[in-house]
């Protein structure tokens, strides 16, 4: 299999016939063996019926249906597991991504040896309430991740098969697939300016909470890649520092009292009346708690089950 197209979707039944027709036209002209994988993320409209109809008409169209809306990351992860092509291209089902970009994305992977090619919607047809936060999100992600892409959240991306078989996308981490791939050792990550079209059917799934969650996910993934395999190195280090601060503060408070009594022979202030005593006590308690948290994190990491928890309800052609 030369090429797999993975399309996660939610309530996009009107777009599916149009998108499928355009994909067949583009890839038919390329002369490659291909498959189209639709991942229905718990749609409540007739999207699954549309997928089944398209699959019945052409065996190259396949579908996976979730029993509930789990999010784009689990949908992509399931699509990556099922994909058989040497090159895997992801795109959205709302017709805002242009199938005419596929041949060049495919060429960049096959001929230029790219591990991942990310689309850049340089000219967007979205309201400023969406484009402005997107620019802020991408700027922050570039600075934190070190991966210099303009549009991390573009759904139109191309991957070598080895990339998508080597990574796991969970939670809401689909925004950071280039970051994840880079951390897994796939360093040839390129960018391509792609066309962006206005939405024709349905409504956007965009919400402002996406940017709040996106920032939190960025912190999470940064922590996971740095300390995910060695959580004790983080919690233990911070816990030790806090405990040492508390211990030396306690020694200072007690030592000062002893000096007043035995060296200077004068009334000593009560230990409990000094603010430093409570700083010392709090630091030592927090230090012990962080140390304990580090041990628990090590146990959880060692014995944790799969992180992707979702239920596939139906499959067609897969």
Domain edges within the chain:
3-227, 231-302
Residues 6 or more apart whose CB falls under 8 angstroms from that of 89 comprise 3, 4, 5, 6, 102, 105, 106, 156, 157, 158, 159
> Which two tokens mark 22?
């355009």
User: Which is nearest to 167 in space by CA: 67, 157, 2?
Assistant: 157
Fold for domain 3-227? Answer: Spore Coat Polysaccharide Biosynthesis Protein SpsA; Chain A (3.90.550)
Beta bridge partner(s), residue 196? 97
Query: Strand 3-9 to strand 87-90: parallel, antiparallel, or no bridges (unpaired)?
Result: parallel
**Please, how many CA atoms are within 13 Å of residue 26, restricted to the half-sphere of its CB?**
19
Give the helix/strand (H/E) hosting 247: helix 231-258
Strands (E) in 74-217, as ranges, are 87-90, 116-120, 157-160, 189-193
Question: Mind listing the pLDDT tens digit of every residue in the chain (318 residues)?
Answer: 899 999 999 999 999 999 999 999 999 999 999 999 999 999 999 999 999 999 999 999 999 999 999 989 999 999 999 999 999 999 999 999 999 999 999 999 999 999 999 999 887 766 666 667 777 778 888 887 888 898 888 899 999 999 999 888 877 788 889 988 988 889 999 999 998 876 676 565 555 566 666 677 777 777 777 776 778 888 888 999 999 999 999 888 888 888 877 777 777 777 777 888 888 999 999 999 998 988 888 777 666 655 565 667 778 877
Cα(239)–Cα(155) distance, integer angstroms: 41
| CB neighbour list of residue 27: distance below 8 Å, 6 or more residues apart | 3, 5, 34, 102
Query: What global pTM score does this model have?
Result: 0.72
């Amino acid at each position: 299999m030369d090429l797999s197209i993975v399309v996660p979707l939610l309530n996009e039944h009107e777009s599916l016939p149009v998108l499928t027709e355009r994909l067949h036209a583009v890839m038919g002209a390329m002369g490659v063996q291909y498959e189209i994988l639709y991942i229905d993320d718990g749609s409540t409209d007739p999207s699954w019926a549309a997928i089944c109809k398209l699959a019945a008409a052409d065996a190259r169209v396949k579908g996976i249906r979730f029993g509930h809306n789990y999010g784009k990351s689990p949908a992509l992860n399931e699509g990556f597991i099922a994909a058989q092509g040497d090159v895997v291209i992801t795109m959205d089902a709302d017709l805002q991504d242009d199938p005419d970009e596929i041949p060049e994305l495919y060429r960049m992977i096959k001929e230029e040896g790219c591990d991942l090619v990310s689309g850049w919607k340089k000219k967007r047809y979205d309201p400023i309430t969406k484009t402005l936060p997107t620019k802020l999100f991408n700027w922050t992600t570039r600075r934190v991740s070190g991966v210099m892409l303009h549009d991390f959240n573009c759904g139109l991306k191309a991957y070598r098969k080895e990339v998508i078989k080597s990574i796991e996308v969970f939670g809401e981490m689909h925004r950071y697939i280039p970051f994840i791939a880079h951390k897994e050792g796939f360093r040839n990550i390129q960018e391509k300016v792609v066309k962006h079209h206005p939405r024709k059917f349905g409504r956007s799934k965009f919400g402002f909470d996406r940017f709040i969650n996106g920032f939190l996910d960025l912190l999470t993934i940064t922590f996971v890649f740095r300390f995910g395999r060695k959580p004790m190195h983080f919690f233990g280090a911070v816990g030790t520092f806090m405990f040492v601060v508390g211990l030396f503060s306690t020694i200072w408070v007690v030592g000062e009292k002893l000096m007043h009594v035995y060296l200077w022979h004068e009334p000593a202030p009560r230990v409990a009346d000094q603010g430093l005593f409570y700083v010392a006590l709090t630091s030592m308690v927090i230090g012990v708690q962080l140390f304990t948290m580090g041990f628990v994190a090590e146990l959880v990491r060692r014995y944790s089950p799969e992180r992707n928890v979702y239920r596939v309800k139906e499959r067609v052609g897969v």
